[in-house]
């Protein structure tokens, strides 16, 4: 829940704006997003994918247990595929 709130704020959106962007009714959007952010209700995976797309973060960002991994996922998610592959190859070659 805390990552959802921080990602929403980083995107410069209010709870109502995010909810409405996801297709929620204007009169319930803020309350529903608040429940998600507080952990009172958990959105299903498809909703989380839509939230992630709207906030421009990989959906995995919301599911990492470790903060450092979630930050890495966000950073890597913003790179072009070629750069992601180069970094992955570099990490894999460092193991040997």
At residue 86, the 3 state secondary structure works out as: helix
Percent of the chain with pLDDT over 70: 99
Structure tokens that stand for 41 in this block: 């209700």
Q: What is the pLDDT of residue 9?
A: 97
Domain of residue 41: give its range.
2-95
Task: Record the pTM.
Answer: 0.85
Over range 22-42, report the average pLDDT.
96
pLDDT at residue 41 is higher than 90: yes
Residue 96 in this model has a pLDDT that exceeds 80 = no
What Rg value do the Cα atoms of the chain yield, rounded? 16
- Give me the number of domains the chain comprises: 1
What is the CATH number for 76?
1.10.260.40
SS (H, E, C) 60-83: HHHCCCCHHHHHHHHHHHCCCHHH
pLDDT tens digit string along 46-62?
A: 999 999 999 999 999 99
| Integer Cα distance of 70 and 64 in angstroms | 6
């Amino acid at each position: 829940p805390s990552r959802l709130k921080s990602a929403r704020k980083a995107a410069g959106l209010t709870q109502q704006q995010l909810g409405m962007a996801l297709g929620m009714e204007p009169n319930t959007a803020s309350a529903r997003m608040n429940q998600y952010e507080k952990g009172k209700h958990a959105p299903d995976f498809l909703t989380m994918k839509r939230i992630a797309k709207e906030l421009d973060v990989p959906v995995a960002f919301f599911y990492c247990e470790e903060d450092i991994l979630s930050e890495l996922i966000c950073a890597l998610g913003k790179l072009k595929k070629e750069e992601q592959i180069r970094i992955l190859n570099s990490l894999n070659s460092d193991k040997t």
